[in-house]
Structure 1
Amino acid sequence: MGIVGSQIQPFTATAFQAGKDFFQVTDGDVAGKWAVFFFYPADFTFVCPTELEDLGEHYAMLQKLGVEVYAVSTDTHFSHKAWHDTSDKIGKLQFPFLGDQNHVLARNFGVLREGQGLADRGTFVVDPDGVIQLVEITSEGVGRNANELVRKIRAAQYVRNNPGQVCPAAWEEGEETLAPSLDLVGKL
């Protein structure tokens, strides 16, 4: 079975979040909510802080949409704190960073680079039922775009809330959707 449409697997991870003590996050904490698992290769790297900063600029908007963001790398929660305390870009971020030094999350989501101990650059959107709805995986040197992530989340939420409707390419909130039917076959 492909990962889209599959259920997230059980996990427990220690998190760092600005202004808080270290805390545990489990698959149970995600249940009933929308969540983004934003995997990146490693702390103290090059593309990662730019895309995490971009995501951070959209964090308040994502929270208004009922979405929690979890940044995940195979570093420890201690490394996440040290990076937060020493990087201007990372120091601004308010979402939790999950330590995955045992590679449970990276394996569960299929992004672990076996033999390297690093995660691929992958984004996973999980719905309130714990089902993976969206996946994006890019190569090492290609950073992601949080504007596009927000657009896709809005589309996924629209489809969930409006059974029988689908969002066409480049759909933006408020635009027309489609109701798949035999009448549309061959007419689009």
Structure 2
Amino acid sequence: MACSASATATTLIAASNPKSFSANFSPSSSQTLTIPRSFSGLRKPLHSRVPRSLSFNRGSHSRKAFVVKAASEAPLVGNTAPDFEAEAVFDQEFINVKLSEYIGKKYVILFFYPLDFTFVCPTEITAFSDRHAEFEKINTEILGVSVDSVFSHLAWVQTDRKSGGLGDLNYPLISDVTKSISKSYGVLIPDQGIALRGLFIIDKEGVIQHSTINNLAIGRSVDETLRTLQALQYVQENPDEVCPAGWKPGDKSMKQDPKGSKEYFAAI
């Protein structure tokens, strides 16, 4: 089992059910990814202080024409991210986080992990925190989510890394004790009550542009998350271009037409 049970404390405030975004952003019908009820083998599963407010006032660019809006029966990618409001721990204090507050202001990396005080989870959480400045530089906030209470989050943050803790983090850890957020993003394992390692990149218009879901024993890559985010931002700023496999900033992109694409293929 990749993650053992967490010694969580009594819960205080639960995440609310997903709501629609503001009038400017109409969400699509609720989506659910099918999660198998059983898994073979892998199944058993702040030094830098930041302002308390999580609202930002930077300008927003309109979403470009390259974006495909998925139909209501399609997966989450291409559709509006399910909104939520929940309590979180940030800078060793309890705060309130509402996803829709980022709309029009920031990109969001939203990632789920199974449980506090486990093994793979702290390696991912601290890796994202250590690289937070790189995401902040490209106007992106990171939000971590698990089904643990804010009291468990706080205890874990107050535990030293050398003892399996997190230490101070540069982004909020959200409490999803009702499991409503995990369920709305299709990562909840119903018979275990914990989330798979799901990660979603949400653009400034509130649309999910990327998702990955790992089983419990497999950690994620901060490098690949950053690369994918940079590719997304590039094509949104350059709607006539697309990014080929493994694209990184500075690499050659591709024109999305039969004639223009030949320039790329001729150059490699």
- Identify the TM-score tier after normalising by the shorter chain: over 0.9
Shift of 1:156: 0.5
Q: Paired residue for 2:27?
A: none
Structure 1 CA distance, aligned partners of 2:126 and 2:99?
A: 25
Say yes or no: does 1:10 pair with 2:83.
yes
Question: How many correspondences in the alignment?
Answer: 186
Say yes or no: does 1:22 pair with 2:98.
no
Shift of 1:113: 0.7
Unmatched segments (≥5 aa) in structure 1: none
Structure whose residues are more often helix by fraction? 1
3-state DSSP of counterpart to 2:166: helix
Native 8 Å contact 1:35 1:126 kept in 2: yes
Q: 2:237 aligns with which of 147, 161, 173?
A: 161
**How large is the Cα RMSD of the aligned pairs?**
1.5
Structure 1 residues 113-128: aligned runs within 5 Å: 113-128=189-204
Q: Paired residue for 2:117?
A: 44
Identical positions, percent = 37
Say yes or no: does 1:152 pair with 2:224.
no
Q: Paired residue for 2:213?
A: 137
Q: Which has the larger radius of gyration?
A: 2
Structure 2 CA distance, aligned partners of 1:160 and 1:171?
A: 15
Native 8 Å contact 1:54 1:146 kept in 2: yes
Unmatched segments (≥5 aa) in structure 2: 1-73
Native 8 Å contact 2:158 2:168 kept in 1: no
Structure whose residues are more often strand by fraction? 1
**Cα deviation digits, residues 128-173 of structure 1 (max 9, x gap):** 0000011111111110110111111100110111111111111110
3-state DSSP of counterpart to 1:22: strand
Query: What one-letter code is carried by the residue in structure 2 that aligns with 1:47?
Result: V
| TM-score scaled by length of structure 2 | 0.67
Structure 2 CA distance, aligned partners of 1:59 and 1:22?
A: 20
Structure 2 CA distance, aligned partners of 1:77 and 1:65?
A: 28
C-alpha distance 58-169 of structure 1, shift in aligned 2 (>3 A): same
Structure 1 CA distance, aligned partners of 2:182 and 2:201?
A: 14
Native 8 Å contact 1:8 1:108 kept in 2: no
**Cα deviation digits, residues 39-77 of structure 1 (max 9, x gap):** 100000000001111111211110111000001001111
Runs of 4+ in 1 over 3 A off after TM superposition: none
Q: Paired residue for 1:176?
A: 252
